Structure 1
Amino acid sequence: MYPFTEIIPLILKSFLQAFMDPQFWPVFLLIVGLIALQYQRMGRLRESFFHQKSGRAWADVIMAAGFGLLGGLAGSFLMVFIGLTLSGPDLIYLWPVAILLMLINMRFLCFAYSGGVLAVSSLLLGFPQVNIPQIMALVAVLHMVESILILVSGHLGAAPAFIKAAGGRVVGGFTLQRFWPIPLVVLAVAGTGAVQGVVEMPDWWPLIKPDVPGELHNLVFYLMPVVAGLGYGDVSIARSPVEKSRLSALHLGLYSVILLILAVLAEHSRAVTLAAALFSPLGHETVIYISRRIESCGEPLYVPPARGVRVLDVSPDMAAWRAGIRSGDIILAVNGLELTDKNSFYQMQQETFLPLLVDYFSRAAGENRRRLLVPAGPGGWGLVLVPEGNENKYVELWTTGPLGRLLKGFWRKFRS
């Protein structure tokens, strides 16, 4: 392991030097800008529930950039340890195919799908000529980094939503959406021959052989900066956002480890290569299916209680938050008057500006509490209650693209 103790400072140095390169900043800022648009859209969703501007979009962007830096550093170490070399036409094909698949469904804007399509096409049709183990390893490492980021920050900024569950019932829940700019330091082949001042790597390295001519032991590699973007989207209905993000991270981490093992073994077997190519999209779909199944089969948390009204979400630093009310709590009475539905609660909220005595059940503490709530004007309580009965507005969980809608239209006409 001695060579890796030498190369760690080189990775850190190259990672920091990337931010001093004028060519690095335009791409990095472009991805940060696209991520900022996503967080602004999510902010508008929260505003539609709380009827007030949150002003947290840029705070979310800054936080995402911070987590992205840590994720990029972890990904850089993984790629160098594996010996994953980004060279050849692989990346040239990945993005166009991913964008084309996005037109069918938004979740297909992921290298797990475009990488799988390219790999299967290369194996069966001979076009395009790509390094399949290299592409599969890239998909695995990016999803491994994503699983780490989901674990530590996937629950942050969860937005309340009304979600259509099994049987057509609309229940309360949260949409979990996070986006991260990922600066990476990756390997590229500089050439062959003896060079002074290089680090000699072990004989087993690299695990993923580069698709370049020349003897492997004579190749010289160098570190170069690239920028990627990662995104996570999920919903929590039967679990809290923290519990759901941890479970999603576990499933995605397991998927990435299996795919990485297949990518390493693919160099020695065409059958394993095909298995890796198929597992990339199908395994990812399995992770999504399991996530949907867990939520649809579980008992929804955010539904009306037998008595009182249940809280879906609380806006931080507003009156209800300062009174200690949190998501999942049940408001039983206000000024001694028991609540029967959320309409009576909202009407009371609009009509009074005086301090109120609120009786509620704290889910975290498992006990009834009484607190003084001081409203800050109309809409100043900062509460969203769970839906009751059928709601006209609810969140579409999976967005179909224009090509997907067109194909569905043709299929309906064909069946009729």
Structure 2
Amino acid sequence: MEIVLEWLWKLSDALVYFLAQPFYYISIILVMLQYRRQVQLERRLFHVRLHSWGRQTWITVLSGFAAGIAISVVSSFLGTTLTLDGIILIWSVSILLLLFRVRYLCFAYSVGLLGVIQFILSWFPGFTLEGFAGGVLKTVQDLNIPSLLALVALLHLAEALLIRWQGALFAGPLFYEGKRGKVVGGYQMKSFWPIPLFLLVPAQNAGSLLPWTPFFGGEAWHSGFSFIALPALIGFTEMTVSTLPGQKARLTSSRLLLYSVVLLGLALLAGWWSPLTVVAALAAFLLHELLVWYSSVEETNRSPYFVHPSRGLKVLAVLPGSPAEELGIEAGEVIFKVNGTPVNTKQQLHSGLRMNPAFCKLEVLNRQGESKFLQRAIYAGEHHQLGVILAPDDDASVALRMKPLSLLELLSPRRGAEGRKSARVPEKAPGEALDR
């Protein structure tokens, strides 16, 4: 009973520290800003709101909380030697990197960079500083980089699973500038999860011993254990013009899962043989950048999926709760005929629907190219295209050009969005954020 009470006391103490830190609240605010920006882009392009940024925020916050509990349980068997000064240092480096690109707000970059700095400092054992700089120097030197990289690997493992389950849930349709200036349809996929972590750390003073010995920390656990709170933020941004969002999310999830397994293996090896620490630290952000680069090259070299075929109109998205959703029309399908009339342009679609303003019959080609016949009554006040968002045509007035997103552009959505509304000189929009 005393052991249980001690665990509860230490957990409550860590919770108080967690609630007193601003980093978790900062991460939630950043998530809200990202989702709000997505809704603004949807309104500018389609004059409708496909998502609710408030609902997106709540879902991801709750999912992140559950993931944080799971990671905390698993990490208790690995162990983490981290102090409050270490937490502040890691978050400070992350926020500094955020000024350059939003996706650099990822512990793979901050911990990896600190690992490289620690390795360089090891070449100069006599190097010292005074005052505040000296405190920062000592904090860097005292970081247990292998244990932190193992934690980064667990965070990415959780991220891979969350992407698999939720990555396509909030995917937003957009018009992009494709090859040779042609406007194509696509999706931007953004999901972010604030993660509260409660990590086992060696106690500073004597206390009860753990019934097991964590992998990292060694003899430090002989003085007992304690808990420390570490707010984290994981997330990814992907764009796809060559495949459906669900397929892209599964592919991204599989690659990120492989990354997390490799990084965890390197971290465990570095904990066993310290010279491998710098290798694991370099791998943390270099392999991460490789994933981003490869995904970009892959999209560039593939043919666009959301373009109109020679006959019919390709569906880019369907509005939630619309007649099209009730009919069972899905993204990637082709509207072939309306009320018996073939349609190849938006004007022909509108004319076909006006042939019978109270009822419509559709012939739609599914993703496998097979015909399906749909019919439904039309009621006053419903969307003029039944709630279907079509792939862009040659008259599309606004397209988006992918570009890195900085913190200033995130805080000010108008930054980076200057330009004429034309397919040839498109408006700019974020193409990268946070993690992946």
Bin for the TM-score computed over the shorter chain: 0.7 to 0.9
Match of 1:182 in 2: 195
Distance 1:10 1:323 in 2: 58
2:96 equivalent to 1:100: yes
2:146 equivalent to 1:133: yes
Match of 1:169 in 2: 182
Distance 1:10 1:261 in 2: 33
- Structure 1 counterpart of 2:324, from 320, 329, 332: 320
> Is contact 2:363-2:371 (8 Å) kept?
no
- Structure 1 counterpart of 2:36, from 37, 40, 46: 40
3-state secondary structure, aligned to 1:185: strand
Query: Unaligned stretches of 5+ in structure 2?
Result: 123-136, 410-414, 416-436
Match of 2:217 in 1: 209
- Structure 2 counterpart of 1:370, from 356, 369, 374: 374
Aligned in 2, Cα 1:319/1:340: closer, same or farther, shift over 3 Å? same
- TM-score with structure 1 length normalisation? 0.82
Match of 1:250 in 2: 254
Once the 2 structures are TM-superposed, how far is the Cα of residue 150 of structure 1 from its aligned partner? 0.9
Match of 2:419 in 1: none
2:245 equivalent to 1:241: yes
> Is contact 1:362-1:369 (8 Å) kept?
no
- TM-score with structure 2 length normalisation? 0.78
- Structure 2 counterpart of 1:83, from 63, 79, 82: 79
> Is contact 1:174-1:235 (8 Å) kept?
yes
Once the 2 structures are TM-superposed, how far is the Cα of residue 382 of structure 1 from its aligned partner? 1.5
- Structure 1 counterpart of 2:299, from 275, 295, 298: 295
Task: Provide Cα deviations, 1:255-289, integer angstroms capped at 9, x if missing partner.
Answer: 11111221122234454112112111110011112
Distance 1:164 1:258 in 2: 35
Task: Provide Cα deviations, 1:358-387, integer angstroms capped at 9, x if missing partner.
Answer: 222122683232322525536452211112
Distance 2:9 2:176 in 1: 45
Distance 1:141 1:220 in 2: 24
Supply the RMSD in Å over aligned alpha carbons: 3.4
Matches within 5 A, 1:206-285: 206-209=214-217, 215-285=219-289
Distance 1:37 1:95 in 2: 19
Match of 1:3 in 2: none
- Percent identity (aligned): 31
- Structure 2 counterpart of 1:338, from 339, 342, 354: 342
Distance 1:153 1:14 in 2: 35
Aligned in 2, Cα 1:38/1:349: closer, same or farther, shift over 3 Å? farther
Aligned in 2, Cα 1:232/1:241: closer, same or farther, shift over 3 Å? same
Query: Unaligned stretches of 5+ in structure 1?
Result: 1-5, 406-416
Aligned in 2, Cα 1:124/1:387: closer, same or farther, shift over 3 Å? same
- Structure 2 counterpart of 1:399, from 399, 404, 407: 404
Distance 2:335 2:206 in 1: 74
Q: Which moved more, 1:32-41 or 1:272-281?
A: 32-41
Distance 1:35 1:163 in 2: 23
2:379 equivalent to 1:383: no
